[in-house]
Amino acid sequence: MSCADLRIHGLGFSYPTRPDPVLDGLDLDIDAGERVALLGPNGSGKTTLVHHLNGLLEAQTGTITIGGVTVEHGHLAEIRRRVGLVFQDPDDQLFMHTVHDDVAFGPANLGITGAERERVVTEALGAVGAAELADRTPHHLSGGEKRRAAIATVLAMDPHLLVLDEPTSGLDPVGRRRLAELLGSLPHTQIIVTHDLPFALATCDRSVILDHGHITADAPTHQLLADTALLAQHQLELPFGYPAPTAPRSDSLRQRAHRPDSAV
């Protein structure tokens, strides 16, 4: 595997119904094992970018490689195994009679059967602390339980990259904390798409802002969230009463800005 688990270069995409490109020469590298928060206002192209990562949308310009494999038509089966996408609504991911059957569905489609499939299911549920949910019906679970089950369905595919779309949606504070602890325990490279800035701070050392088709800022999360002017420029805001993180000017971690008017 190359050093960059995810490498995006010059990605461009436009919808026929929109005059301006949604993604416009976007560049982004994420190293193996990194957890990176993808931030940006509504309509900035975050979902469009996510849908390119597993081939749901095809790049019109530029390239994407994941673990050294290019996202293109001939590689889609492998790409969709390598990229585990956890939807914003777990009910979109859980559709079988039991959690066990949901987690087993992906491996079964890869041709994994018998004892090996049971091992994969057991390991995936154990990784998210959900072994006791195996025989439960998904629609009877709490929001946090559904989220863990949905993540298990993705882990069962042995992905290189986890992509989570607004994972704290519908979770109470205890559920948010448990999810943060879970994500922190997983070794996978992760992209967390979120408007929940405190959650980004709790889970991701690095954050990027997507706006106007570009990555407009890329910095350590605590440093990026300390810049209230930058957040306001991109319609991002910490919760009322939540103190901005302290970002010392001597911070030695990675700090990049891709547009001069959006410097961190």
Strand pairing of 206-211 and 214-220? antiparallel
Strands, sheet with 35-39, edge to edge from the N-terminal-most edge strand: 83-86, 161-165, 189-193, 35-39, 206-211, 214-220
pLDDT tens digits for range 114-172: 999 999 999 999 999 999 999 999 999 999 999 999 999 999 999 989 999 999 998 99
Q: Given the structure tokens 């994941």, which residue do they identify?
A: 66
Segments of the chain scoring below 70 in pLDDT: 1-4, 247-264
Contact 209, 253 (CB under 8 A): no
How far apart (Å, rounded) are the C-alpha atoms in residues 43 and 15? Answer: 13
Q: Tell me what pLDDT residue 247 has.
A: 58
Torsion of CA 225, 189, 23, 226, to 10 degrees: 0
Q: Tell me what pLDDT residue 255 has.
A: 42
Kindly list the structural domains of the chain, giving each domain's residue range(s) and its CATH number in brackets, ordered by start.
4-86+159-262 (3.40.50.300)
pTM above 0.85, yes or no: yes
